[in-house]
Amino acid sequence: MKGLILKDLYNAMTQGKVLLFMVVIFGVCFANAAEGTLIIMCTIYAAVLVINNMALDEMCAWETFALTMPVTRRQLALSKYVISVIYAFGGTLLGAIMTVVLRAAGFGGGGAPLGSILVITGVGMAISALFIAVLIPVNFKFGIQKGRFVLLSIAALIGGGGVLLSGSRGTRIMAAIGTFGEINGMLAALIAAAAVAVILVVSFGISVKIMEKKEF
C-alpha cells in the first residue's frame, strides 16, 4: 500500500507547476469571497486530483504491471481512496493557510468565526467524499475517457432530480431537513458524517468488485 501511495504522490509532484498555477488561480478568484469558500474549493479540487492519478495509471497501464507485484486488486482500489483522503486533507490545510495569509493581507470575506469555518470545512470534506465515491468506481469501470461521459450523465440525472425537487414538495423536504439541522446541529452533523462514511464504504465495495472482475 505504501508503494502505491508513494507512486501517486510522485505522479502528482510531476504535475507540480499545474497544481501551483491552480492554487494561484483559486487565491485570486476567491480572495474576497466569503471565508471558507477557498477552503471548500481547495479541498474539493485536491480530492478529485485522484482522477489525474488514475489517468496517468491508465496511460502507462500501471495496473497491469502492479498486479504482477505483491499487490492485490483490493489494495489497488483502496489506494485510490486513501490518496484522495490525503489530498483532501492537504487541500484543506492549503486552503486554511491561504485564508489566513489573505486575511492578514487585508483580503477576505470579513472574519467569520472559527466555528463556522470548521463547519464549512466539514461541508467541503463531505462534498469531496461524495465526488470521490462516484468518481473512483466510475473510472475503474469505464476508464477515464468513457468515465467522463458517465459522469456527465450522472450530473444530468442529478440536475434533473434537482429540477424535480425544486417543486413545492421538494421545497418542503429541504425545509424540513433545514429545520432538523437547526434544532439538532450536532446530531445532523453526525448523521451527515455517517451517511458520507456509508457512501464511501459502499463505493469502495463497488470498486473492489469492479477490480476483481476486471481483466488486464
Partner 1 sequence: MAAEALKISGLCKNFDDFCLKDIELAVPEGAVVGLIGENGAGKTTTIKAAVDLLHRDKGEVEFFGKRMEEDPSGIRKEVGVVFDSLHFSQGLDADKIEKICEAIYENWDKKTFEECMEKFSLPHKKAIKDFSTGMKMKLNLAIGLSHNARLLIMDEPTSGLDPVVRDDILDIFMDFMQEENHAILLSSHITSDLEKIADYIAFIHKGRLIFCMPKDTLLYQYGVIKCSKRDFENICAEDKLAWRIEDYQCSVLTGDRRRAAARYPEMIIDTPTIDEIMLLYVKGERK
178 binds partner 1 (CB under 8 A): no
Residue number, 10 or 104, with CB nearest to partner 1: 10
Residue number, 12 or 88, with CB nearest to partner 1: 12
180 binds partner 1 (CB under 8 A): no
Exactly one of 19, 67, 112, 189 binds partner 1 (CB under 8 A); that residue is 67
Residue with cell 450523465: 153
Exactly one of 65, 171, 198, 205 binds partner 1 (CB under 8 A); that residue is 65
Residue number, 3 or 162, with CB nearest to partner 1: 3
Residue number, 69 or 104, with CB nearest to partner 1: 69
Chain contacts with partner 1 (rule: CB under 8 A): 2-4, 6-7, 10-11, 14-15, 56-57, 59-62, 64-72, 213, 215-216
